[in-house]
Amino acid sequence: MNLTEQLIALDRQHVWHPYAAMPNPLPVFPVRSARGVRIELEDGRSLVDGISSWWTCIHGYNHPRLNQAAQQQMAQMSHVMFGGLTHRPAVDLAKKLIDITPAPLQHVFFSDSGSVAVEVAMKLAVQYWHCRDQPSKTRFLTIRNGYHGDTFAAMSACDPVNGMHHLFSGMVMQQYFADAPQVQFHEDWQEQDIASFEALLKAHSDQIAAAIFEPVVQNAGGVRFYHPQYVRRASQLCKQYNVLLILDEIATGFGRSGKLFACEYADISPDIMCVGKALSGGFISLAATLTTTHISQTFATGEAGVFMHGPTFMGNPLACAVALENIQLLESYDWQAKVGAIAQQLKTELEPCRQLNAVKDVRVLGAIGVVELTRPVNMATIQPQFVDRGVWLRPFGRLIYTMPPYIIEPDELRQVTSAIYDIVSGL
């Protein structure tokens, strides 16, 4: 047994991977290093990363500017508690987030993962209404096919059938689920599409603290692109029925959809916004929940007088320093043109998949390309096929999708799209 085989054997025996059994029956591929858009395996193979390590590494791996920011920060301090202390990386990052997000968002609460950012947002909404002497407003309105994370409050807002959490249905809070939007991004708007959302608000606004959903792009719930007018109308209805609006931009934020934040397609601002994933360029886990001055100042009048949440690694200096450099790196070049070029290439090179027998739909928005199949993929067999083609993708359900790093070159992206076409051709 060589060293790679020993590593895999130990991993299979002891390491529990995400969305996997124990011991893990699915293949795993040991990584030696990563640089640019390439992942180098222990066995010497090189893979073009077509999903940016779950949509985070928008500038690829080992970027010198992010490495330098981390090294400079580590020379000062890698961590210090945020209770009673503050530091420049967190303050500067908060200011930068306020500058680039919709204007009403003025206050930033840091956390260490997207799921926790959603938990914070939901707790903010409930405690806000408690401060406003409306303690009955404790439930949430969301839309089907959504996904917001794997922690308990976040699970409750995920699709109750297809959201991977139905085993916990008796334990999580029961929320209100509107029908998933059906009018696609480029289609003509139909007002009937928002009818289910409006009906639930009208019937239950006295119980609903906030509506929460992913604007324009539903990600892990199906990578679906829907009409921006749905987001605009939902915002209007939330104001009409006195309900807060939480937008989950964890997967869509920082340019992935073609806008810096997907809510810009609808030209609206939420009461609360969650960001994560690409926030630190995939360097280190970090997330944030942003809200308005009106909401944050309400807490001082409530029973607790403070917001009752405080992650141990909140505002980690190392993560904040790298995240700030990541945003400044994004601002240093014409990322919109780059994402636009990726979108055009994805449209051109994935469209032929539409003629294949196994394919139900092909769709592209920004640096997101999706080939939806008629039947679920077999992960045990399809993942190694992509690796053999020198490509790293992570299909799920009936979806083969790519969300490449923005720095990917056309020939590297063509390697990804060609692998998708060839492998789907054989299904």
Q: Is 147 a catalytic residue?
A: yes
Q: Find residue 35's DSSP bridge partners.
A: 38
Q: Is 335 annotated as a binding-site member? A: no
Classify each residue of 42-71 as buried b or exposed e, where b means 16 or more C-beta atoms within 10 Å of its C-beta. Answer: beeeebbbbbbbebbbbbbbebeebeebbe
Q: Is 147 annotated as a binding-site member? A: yes
Distances (CA, A) of 81 to 69, 221, 325, 327, 419: 20, 35, 21, 24, 46
Active-site residue identified among 61, 128, 147, 241 = 147
| The residue to which tokens 């790679």 are assigned | 4
Q: Is 276 annotated as a binding-site member? A: no
Alpha helices (H) in 365-409, listed in sequence order: 379-388
The backbone torsions φ and ψ at residue 118, rounded to the nearest 5 degrees and listed phi first, read -70, -45
Q: Is 239 annotated as a binding-site member? A: no
| The residue to which tokens 């003025």 are assigned | 106
Q: Is 30 helix (H, G, I), strand (E, B) or coil?
A: coil
| The residue to which tokens 């027998």 are assigned | 357
Q: Find residue 321's DSSP bridge partners.
A: none
Q: Is 338 a catalytic residue?
A: no
Query: What is d(CA 412, CA 179) in angstroms, rounded to the nearest whole number?
Result: 38
Half-sphere exposure of 125 (CA within 13 A, CB side): 31
Q: Is 332 annotated as a binding-site member? A: no
Opening angle at CA 55, ends 51 and 59, nearest 5:
90
Active-site residue identified among 137, 248, 265, 271 = 248
Indicate the burial class of 102 (C-beta count within 10 angstroms; 0-12, 13-18, 19 or more).
middle
Q: Is 311 annotated as a binding-site member? A: yes
Q: Is 315 annotated as a binding-site member? A: no
Q: Is 19 a catalytic residue?
A: yes
Q: What is the largest CA-CA distance in the chain?
A: 66
Whole-angstrom Cα Rg for the chain: 22
Active-site residue identified among 259, 277, 338, 401 = 277
CB atoms within 10 A of CB 241: 18
Q: Is 425 helix (H, G, I), strand (E, B) or coil?
A: helix
Q: Is 92 annotated as a binding-site member? A: no
Q: Is 289 annotated as a binding-site member? A: no
What type of residue sits at position 215? Answer: P
Residue of 258, 420, 257 lying closest to 354 (CA atoms)? 420
Pairing of strands 31-35, 38-41: antiparallel
Give all strands (DSSP E) within 251-374, no chain letters. 272-275, 287-292, 359-365, 368-373
Run of H or E residues at 129 = helix 114-131
Q: Is 277 annotated as a binding-site member? A: yes
Binding residues for pyridoxal 5'-phosphate: 114-115, 248, 311-312
Known catalytic residues are 19, 147, 248, 277
Binding residues: 54, 114-115, 147, 248, 277, 310-312, 394
Binding residues for substrate: 54, 147, 277, 310, 394
